[in-house]
Amino acid sequence: MKAVRAVLAGALALGLNSCGGQETPAAGRPLTVVSVGVPAAVSATGPLTVTLRYVVQCGESDLAIKPIRRTATVLQLSASARYTPMVCAAVYEERELSYTDPGTPARREPFQISVNGKDWATVQVP
């Protein structure tokens, strides 16, 4: 019985050690965005804050929102994080992250906002 316990304990330790923080963090991977908040209307040249609500993943770090493309009618953002493989409790949690577009070039309607390749909102530009 002691031998069986020792083998099981060794196998469990090996399994946990193999997925613990031993590996190099993965390059940036897209965040799992669940919603995007923007004002209904914004001036052509004023700041526009885009708030992303995303699912927290185990081992994430270096969260970043970066503009991919910005024209007078489009703001395309990339939201990503680096992930270090590790053992974590199975918990569902959401957090927010914001990006502020400075307003240049001047916006015009329809001003479309997309994140990680998905269109999320259109903002009116009076």
Cα dihedral angle (101, 102, 107, 113), rounded to 10 degrees?
Answer: 0
C-beta atoms surrounding 30 within 10 Å: 14
Torsions phi, psi for 89 (to 5 deg)? -70, 150
> What residues have CB less than 8 Å from 26, skipping those under 6 apart?
82, 83, 84, 85
β-strands 26-30, 74-83 pairing: antiparallel
pTM: 0.76
C-beta atoms surrounding 29 within 10 Å: 12
Q: Over the chain, what is the mean pLDDT?
A: 85
Give the model confidence (pLDDT) of 26-54 as tens digits: 668 999 999 999 999 999 999 999 999 99
pLDDT value of position 73: 97
pLDDT value of position 3: 57
CB 19 within 8 A of CB 44: no
CA R_g for the chain: 21
pLDDT value of position 96: 97
DSSP assignment, residue 124? B
Torsions phi, psi for 7 (to 5 deg)? -65, -45
Instruction: Say how far apart CA 121 and CA 112 lie, in whole Å.
Output: 6
